[in-house]
Structures are given as C-alpha cells and as structure tokens.
Amino acid sequence: MGNKYRKLASLHGDAVSKCTLPIVVWCLVGCVLIIHFYTSIFYGDGEEGDIPVRLNSHLLTRDLEKIEEESFFIQPPRVKRSPRAIKRKPKPKRHLSIIEEFLDENSQFRHLFFPDRRMAVGPMNNTDNDELNFYPGRIWLDTNGEPIQAHGGGILYVDRFKTYYWYGENKDGPTYHAHQRASARVDVIGISCYSSKDLWTWKNEGIVLAVEQTNMTHDLYKLNVLERPKVIYNDKTEKYIMWMHIDDANYTKASVGIAISETPVGPFEYLYSKQPHGFDSRDMTIFKDDSGIAYVIYSSEGNSELHVGPLTDDYLDVTHEMRRILVGHRREAPALFKYQGTYYMITSGCSGWAPNEALAHAAESIMGPWETIGNPCTGGNRIFRHTTFFAQSTYVLPLPGIPGSFIFMADRWNPADLRDSRYVWLPLTVGGAADEPLEYSFRFPLWSRVSIYWHRKWKLPNAVSFNR
C-alpha cells in the first residue's frame, strides 16, 4: 500500500514537474515580450545605446523645442502694387495677400521679412552681446563684416581639419529678368566656400568654383544657371566632390554638374554635366550614407517627381540604378538626412522664388518607397508654417553630439534683389514634441515626428560638441 501511494505520489510529482516547466518557460517568454512591448512603445525601436541617448538629448534640446508664437497683422493692400509684384503671383493662391506683401519690394512690411543692415548679425557686428545667436532672416556677416553669399548651399564637416565648410551660390550681382516672362536671375559668379569651427563664425574662403566669363559653350558661362551645390568627401579617392544643378537661363538644359578638388577650399575642377539616367534634373542634392555609398536625388519629369540613385564608387557619375519617388507630388529643394536607420527628407513645393509649404518624408530604404509625413514647421504662426517661415529647404545638418537633433537650413529668397536673400536656420528634431498631428498610413510604420521649430533668436545648446 505504501508503495502504491508512493508510486501515485511520484507519478503525480512527475506530472506536476512536467506541466510546470512549460508554464514557467511560457511565463518567462510572456514577461520578456511584455517588457519588450512597453520598451518599444515608450522609447521606439532604437539601436543599441539609443534609448538613453534620445532621452538625454531631449533634455539637451528642450529649449530649442519650445513653441514660440509669432503674430503680425497685415492690413489689406494699400495703394497700387509694383507691376513686378503683380506679375509674380505665386501659386497656390492661399495666403496670397501676405505672399504678395513678401514679394513686393515696396511693401511697408518689408522690414519684417528682410530686416535691414542695422540688424545684421555676425562676429564683426556683435554689439548686443549676441555672439553665437542665430537670427533667422537677418543679414549674416562673415569675419570680414560682409554678408555671407552661400545660397542654396550645404555643409561638409571635415574631421581632419575639425572644420565645417559651407558651400553655396554666390549671388552678389545685380538681379534682372532676361526677358519679360523670365524669372529673376543673377549672372553666375561661382560657388563660395566659408569655413567655421562653431557654425556661427564664418570665414570667407573665396570662390572655389568660378564662373566662365567668355566661353559661351561652357556650362559655367555667366549667362547660365548654377544652383544648389553640395560637396561630399570620397574616402577611396581622397577627393572632394561637388554636385550642382546646371542649367541654361530658361531652365531647359536641366542637368547636374560635377566638379572635383584635392582640398575642401578648392579650387574645384569642373568636369562635365549630364542628365542623370537620361532624365531632366533640376533641384537636386547628394547624400553620403554611413556605408560610404552616395546618392543623388533630383526633381525630374518637369518637377512632377523625384528620382534617386546611387553614385559610382568615385562619386563622379550615377550608376544605372534609379527609382522614381513621390511620383506626381511636384516637390523640389530636397534636403535629406538619416536618423536611427530611417531616411528623412524635407522638400518644398514648386513656386519659383516664392515660398510655399514644406513637407517631411520618410523611408526605410533611401531607394524608397518614400512616405509623406506632413508639414514639419512648428510654432511661429499659420502663415509662417504654410510658407516654411518664408523660406525654402536646402540642407539638414546633424548637430554634433546630440543624436536626433539637426539644423534645418533654408533660403529666404529675395527675388527683387537675389543677392540680399537671407538664411533661415532653425533647430530640427526627430521624435520631439509637436503642435500638429502626424499624418500616417497603416501600410507603413509609424514614422517619428519631424519638427522644425521657429525661433526669432536661438543658440546651439552647450552640449553640442565641437572638436576644435
């Protein structure tokens, strides 16, 4: 009997232990899954080490992410507008009167958009102890006290020299219209380069790619168009490579141009132009990925879509691979950046020199598909947000030492006097606070919010780590 009970008891004990083990295992698996689920909800799907970084960096950029309101009241148009302002009616026609005011060189509100020279900022004009403060829209002076001429530009950081190089269009000439229906232009002068250690104090390094004054068949001939230069470094060939938009005065050549240099400050040797992949190419940018593969992104098919494709290993040409993205969206002025493995891009609409609404896009692969996630402009006021703060995207620069934080670089074009176009640099964060809901589609992951914060005056946080 004792044996029988012992047998039963041991049978029972075996059964219990056989049942308990899977239960314990499944409980553990369940706990791990629950913890993972909550972690990914609260912190996102970061790479190793990203969770504390994003939380800390949010604290570091808290001031930049404050919503700063702007208000201005513009009365109905007064007397007659200048004939040029009437002709330049921008599309779409929302907020027409205010954009008309913006485009009217005789507007009584001109100073709101283009503050005069007395308000200029820069190292030589540092009367109000305003050192290192960015004032979007004000004249920005270099270390010689001259207005910076680097429009439609981009920035390259060169680790070897611990220096930032800002390349852009030098538009320091008279603005005119080649014919009655042509848009405002300045003859080609060349590409300027400025250097800085702190992103605020800029030294003029001169014209690194110069105009061709006499040879009318040359791409850089003064009566052509040379826009949106961007420079990247090729680690294999150890050369600095510049890509730019090359066009004729009527924007029918629609090509990219490529130039090469031994040093970041030039001189760049102009190589050639081409229509990439055999397509028309107007506003463009290039992007060097962490892998070292670089890409060109350009508006094509009459600006109705963007094309993206990898460059050859030497960055001097495109390969045969190309994808059409944002087809039918009519976007230009692409500015691309990457955060935590996701690609982001800010683009503008197509309205010549007149400002319009920016959109942010995101993609898991740079080759697409790209999803539009909405207007990133935050703060200011409705009109500011619908006009990208009266500016147009050109580049997005990662802030050193603060992952997820960037500088959004844009041009506030002044079509009445293009040399007096201004720079609008503002903090851009991925995943920060936002004052407008995010648009998304269930076919795609929920993208992080991209926000560009309006500030009249702002400064880089102390945590930005400059290697000087």
Contacts of 304 (CB under 8 A, 6+ apart): 327, 328, 329, 330
Instruction: Sketch the per residue contact string, 137 through 166, with ligand DGJ: x for CB under 6 A, - otherwise.
Output: ---------------x--------------
Residue number with CB closer to ligand DGJ (339 or 408)? 408
Residue 349 sits in the site that holds ligand DGJ (CB under 6 A)? no
For 253, the enclosing helix (H) or strand (E) is none
Residues 311-340 touching ligand DGJ, rule: CB under 6 A, are 332-333
Rounded to whole angstroms, how far apart are CA atoms 206 and 261? 14
Count of residues engaged in binding ligand DGJ, rule: CB under 6 A: 10
Please, what is the minimum distance in Å from the beta carbon of residue 220 to ligand DGJ? 16
Please, what is the minimum distance in Å from the beta carbon of residue 151 to ligand DGJ? 8
Across the beta sheet with 392-398, the strand order is 377-378, 450-453, 422-430, 405-412, 392-398
Residue number with CB closer to ligand DGJ (84 or 203)? 84
Q: How many Cβ atoms are within 10 Å of 251's Cβ, its own excluded?
A: 15
Please, what is the minimum distance in Å from the beta carbon of residue 325 to ligand DGJ? 17
Query: If you write DSSP's letter for every residue of 24-71 in order, what string do you get?
Result: HHHHHHHHHHHHHHHHHHHH-SPPTTHHHHHHHHHHHTTTTTS--B--
Residues 377-396 touching ligand DGJ, rule: CB under 6 A, are 392
Candidates 134, 295, 298, 353: give the one binding ligand DGJ (CB under 6 A): 353
Residue 46 sits in the site that holds ligand DGJ (CB under 6 A)? no
Amino acid in position 38:
Y
Of residues 234, 179, 155, the one with CA closest to residue 399 = 155
Rounded to whole angstroms, how far apart are CA atoms 280 and 256? 9
Residue 346 sits in the site that holds ligand DGJ (CB under 6 A)? no
Residue 227 sits in the site that holds ligand DGJ (CB under 6 A)? yes
Candidates 183, 204, 263, 275: give the one binding ligand DGJ (CB under 6 A): 183
**Long-range contacts of the stretch 176-179 (C-beta < 8 A, 24+):** 178/223, 178/249, 178/250
Q: Which residue has the tokens 């992007």?
A: 287
Residue number with CB closer to ligand DGJ (375 or 392)? 392
Residues 282-301 touching ligand DGJ, rule: CB under 6 A, are 283
Please, what is the minimum distance in Å from the beta carbon of residue 199 to ligand DGJ? 23
Indicate the length of the chain as a whole number. 468
Site residues, ligand DGJ (CB under 6 A):
152, 183, 227-228, 283, 332-333, 352-353, 392
